């Protein structure tokens, strides 16, 4: 069973400290949700975990399956089994969804075995159709240019299809609900739930309880001023829905200032 352990993580952007000693443990088969006010460092955590070069880790460690991954590039972290679904996926005109996924899959296979010839076109097409059927996606989707002209829901479904194809051990979903209407939110959530039924560990970053009505976490964490300040079960998200973040500010702002 995979395990992601974050200890005392400090991360800065252009000299400004954003994460200020964050601690978190997540294991395969678990679903965790991170919530918090704007600007508290939720997306910074996601990008730092994947090794975005703009985000400088100044202290702490991130242990993934026994290895400290902070000195690894994003591609190495991906090959180990870490995956990030972006809040704002980038469009790549001229590159179809199918070609993008086959290239990504072959790159991972060759990294593990330089003599690997890559997955054949016929084998890949069969596998991709199976994944799309699992996610209830039209097969024509595979022939479209990646995220080019996609709606918000289509972009997020493309991210989930990537996750299904690459089969990570731990998946970080950075505000997957951003820009989605209710129908798209339900469809994307059903895809995540289908894939997380097993050993996959999921870290959901969100502002809203509405996503957690579909993707049901066992653990909920609240971030404030670059740290996780409260942890609990699903009832913690329900309290945020009812009371907002004022009680968090009142409880922790004075400590932060001090």
Query: Over the stretch 98-124, which tens digit does the pLDDT of each residue have?
Result: 999 999 999 888 888 888 888 999 999
Domain ranges of the chain: 3-257
| Residue 245 pLDDT | 93
Query: Over the stretch 153-200, which tens digit does the pLDDT of each residue have?
Result: 889 889 999 999 999 999 999 988 887 888 888 888 888 888 887 789
β partners of residue 91:
none
| Residue 188 pLDDT | 84
Closest CA to 235 of 254, 211, 218: 218
Q: Could you report how far apart the first and last alpha carbons of the chain are, in Å?
A: 40
Question: Is residue 258 pLDDT above 50, yes or no?
Answer: no
CA distances in angstroms from 139 to 60, 122, 130, 161, 164, listed in the order given: 44, 15, 10, 12, 15
- Residue range 212-231: average pLDDT? 95
Q: Determine the Cα–Cα distance for residues 87 and 109; give it in Å rounded to an integer.
A: 27
Superfamily of domain 3-257: P-loop containing nucleotide triphosphate hydrolases (3.40.50.300)
Q: Determine the Cα–Cα distance for residues 150 and 88; give it in Å rounded to an integer.
A: 12
Tell me how many degrees the CA angle 5-10-12 measures, rounded to the nearest 5. Answer: 135
**Of 36-45, 191-200, 249-258, which range is least confident?**
249-258
Q: Determine the Cα–Cα distance for residues 128 and 126; give it in Å rounded to an integer.
A: 6
Tell me how many degrees the CA angle 41-42-43 measures, rounded to the nearest 5. Answer: 95
Coil vs helix vs strand at 109: helix
| Residue 234 pLDDT | 94
Closest CA to 131 of 98, 109, 92, 87: 98
DSSP state letters, 42-81:
HHHHHHHHHT-TTEEEEEEEEEETTEEGGGS-HHHHHHHT
Question: Is residue 72 pLDDT above 50, yes or no?
Answer: yes
Task: Please identify which residue in the block is written with the tokens 């890949």.
Answer: 124
**Strands, DSSP E only, in 14-152?**
16-27, 31-35, 55-64, 67-68, 82-85, 92-96, 145-146
Coil vs helix vs strand at 158: helix
Closest CA to 214 of 198, 191, 238: 191
Residue 86 CB burial class (10 angstroms; 0-12, 13-18, ≥19): buried
β partners of residue 25:
5
What number of other Cβ atoms are within 10 A of residue 154's Cβ? 19
The pTM for the full model equals 0.91
């Amino acid at each position: 069973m995979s395990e992601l352990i974050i200890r005392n993580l400090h991360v800065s952007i252009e000299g400004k400290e954003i994460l200020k000693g964050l601690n978190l443990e997540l294991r395969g088969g678990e679903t965790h949700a991170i919530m918090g006010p704007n600007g508290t460092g939720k997306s910074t955590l996601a990008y730092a975990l994947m090794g975005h070069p703009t985000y400088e880790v100044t202290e702490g460690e991130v242990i993934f399956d026994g290895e400290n991954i902070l000195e690894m590039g994003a591609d190495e972290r991906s090959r180990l089994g870490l995956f990030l679904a972006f809040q704002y996926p980038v469009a790549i005109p001229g590159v179809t969804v199918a070609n993008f996924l086959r290239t990504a899959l072959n790159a991972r296979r060759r990294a593990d075995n330089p003599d690997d010839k890559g997955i054949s076109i016929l084998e890949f097409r069969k596998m991709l159709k199976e994944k799309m059927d699992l996610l209830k996606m039209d097969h024509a989707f595979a022939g479209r240019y990646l995220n080019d002209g996609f709606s918000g829901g289509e972009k997020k479904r493309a991210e989930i299809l990537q996750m299904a194809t690459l089969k990570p051990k731990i998946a970080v979903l950075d505000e997957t609900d951003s820009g989605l209407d209710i129908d798209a939110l339900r469809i994307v959530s059903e895809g995540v739930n289908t894939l997380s039924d097993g050993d996959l560990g999921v870290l959901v970053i969100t502002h809203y309880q509405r996503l957690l009505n579909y993707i049901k976490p066992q653990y909920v964490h609240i971030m404030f001023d670059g740290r996780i300040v409260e942890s609990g079960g699903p009832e913690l998200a329900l309290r945020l829905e009812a009371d907002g973040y004022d009680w968090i500010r009142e409880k922790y702002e004075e400590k932060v200032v001090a």
